[in-house]
Amino acid sequence: MNNRISIDPNICHGQACIQGTRIPVHQIVHMLANGDTIEALLESYPIVKREDILACLDYAAELAEELVTPI
């Protein structure tokens, strides 16, 4: 798993978060999906780095890839 994403049952109820923060991966992905830019997120969350945002997208892509849909 990506070293920029952490899952800890004691932080955000075990949701995947950016390492060292309480910012859930799903929040970043939803914001990007709703039209926010990486630059806007970096400005809104100074603790977050570009690599963290890309790690969130990579994490979401890995989850989507693992999904098996019966035909």
- Tell if the pTM clears 0.85, that is, is over it: yes
Q: Is residue 71 part of a domain?
A: no
Q: How many domains does the chain have?
A: 1
User: Looking at the predicted structure, is the pLDDT value of residue 69 above 80?
Assistant: no
pLDDT tens by residue, 26-55: 999 999 999 999 999 999 999 999 999 999
Range of the domain at 49: 5-66
Q: Is residue 24 part of a domain?
A: yes
Q: Is residue 51 part of a domain?
A: yes
Residue-level pLDDT at 55: 97
Q: Is residue 28 part of a domain?
A: yes
Distance between CA atoms of residues 31 and 40, nearest Å: 10
Q: Is residue 53 part of a domain?
A: yes
Distance between CA atoms of residues 32 and 10, nearest Å: 26
Q: Is residue 31 part of a domain?
A: yes
The chain-wide mean pLDDT, for the chain, equals 93
Mean pLDDT calculated for residue range 19-23 = 96
Task: Please answer whether residues 38 and 52 qualify as being in contact, where contact means their C-beta atoms are separated by less than 8 angstroms.
Answer: no
Domain CATH number, residue 31? 1.10.10.10
